[in-house]
Chain A
């Protein structure tokens, strides 16, 4: 199955809206364990991430660390975002690894877990990642670009205990956020 054809209906459980943690909560800096994507706890976590992302204005991705779980699970949905070019709708990936990343570009990022700042971060705009779908555990490879690539790299970083502030370009690359969605 392609992540583009996947919907959270595949999970068969209802997601719960969880509180989103903010830095300096230490779980945000904790590298996530690999998970068993077929484990009911992983499936519930996947559903919870999607549910929490859906109710959070402007949110295009959410990782397990942000809801207090140090695990390699995240969800993404950039389909409504004006900067998205290629997109695969709503999907959740487990144990994701970067296969190919190229064409770095710098852009300003924000994060629900760092609500007061934005930062200039260089990320690949051409990206191939490999991960597993929660529920079936099927391995999928996903090729994308532009904003979806940035969102994926941002979320993969979360699952490794890294925030965008760990990747900013220089000493003046952090900016006070004027308004938060």
Chain B
């Protein structure tokens, strides 16, 4: 059994969700190694990776009170450590913006997938009619980034949005 657990908490937002979740994990001696949390239109969404010699059932039981009133869903699953297969590749930032309509994300990210690219971070925003997508992605070593960028721009154009791919810049200090 892996000692690494993925905990997801989803549902109606209210104060104290993170405090209650992490308190439960701490009581079990679990160490939070990675986490992300955001509000999606006011809906709470959090994922945690925590490590410890505790069974998933015990974690679910410990966090059961969070979900007691039916406003939150808590799920626990065992995950394994995996090496990063894209370490030798290159990192890119993708921006997509245009009028909102169904299918924008799928049209553009299909081009990333077909190039063997892997999206590592994704944020979308909607304000009025403006739909905005920002993603960070890795392309495999040897990928033809110009061709990928052209394919992304073309795919965006077909669904009426502007899509640009550019290198993720890092300052070497």
Residues of A within 8 A of B (CB): 22-24, 26, 29, 114, 116-117, 122, 161-163, 165-174, 176
Contacts and interface: CB of A to CB of B under 8 A. Distances in A.
Contacts of B164: 162, 166
Contacts of B18: none
A162 B97 CA distance: 11
Nearest to A162: B164
Contacts of B135: 171
Interface size class of B (residues with CB under 8 A): 20 to 34
B151 interface: no
A122 B127 CA distance: 24
B136 A170 contact: yes
Nearest to B129: A24
Contacts of A169: 93, 169
Contacts of B125: 117, 174, 176
Interface in B56-100: 93, 95, 97-100
A166 to B, nearest CB: 5
Interface in B100-139: 100, 121-123, 125, 127-132, 134-136
B22 interface: no
Contact of B93 (A24, A114, A170): A170
Given A166-B95, A166-B162, A169-B169, A174 B123 contact: yes
Given A166-B95, A166-B162, A114 B130 contact: yes
Given A24-B97, A29-B162, A165-B97, A172 B121 contact: yes
B168 interface: yes
Contacts of B132: 117, 165, 174
Contacts of A176: 125, 127
B132 to A, nearest CB: 6
Contact of A168 (B99, B121, B134): B134
B15 to A, nearest CB: 20
A1 to B, nearest CB: 36
Contacts of A168: 93, 95, 134
B130 A23 contact: yes
A90 B50 CA distance: 57
A167 B160 CA distance: 19
Contacts of B129: 24
Most chain A Cβ neighbours within 10 Å, of B121, B123, B128, B134: B134
Contacts of A114: 130
A170 B134 contact: yes
A24 B122 CA distance: 20
Nearest to B168: A170
Most chain A Cβ neighbours within 10 Å, of B97, B161, B166, B169: B97
A165 to B, nearest CB: 6
A174 B134 contact: yes
Given A24-B100, A24-B130, 14 more contacts: A22-B130, A23-B130, A24-B99, A116-B130, A165-B95, A167-B166, A170-B93, A170-B136, A170-B168, A171-B121, A171-B123, A171-B134, A174-B123, A176-B127
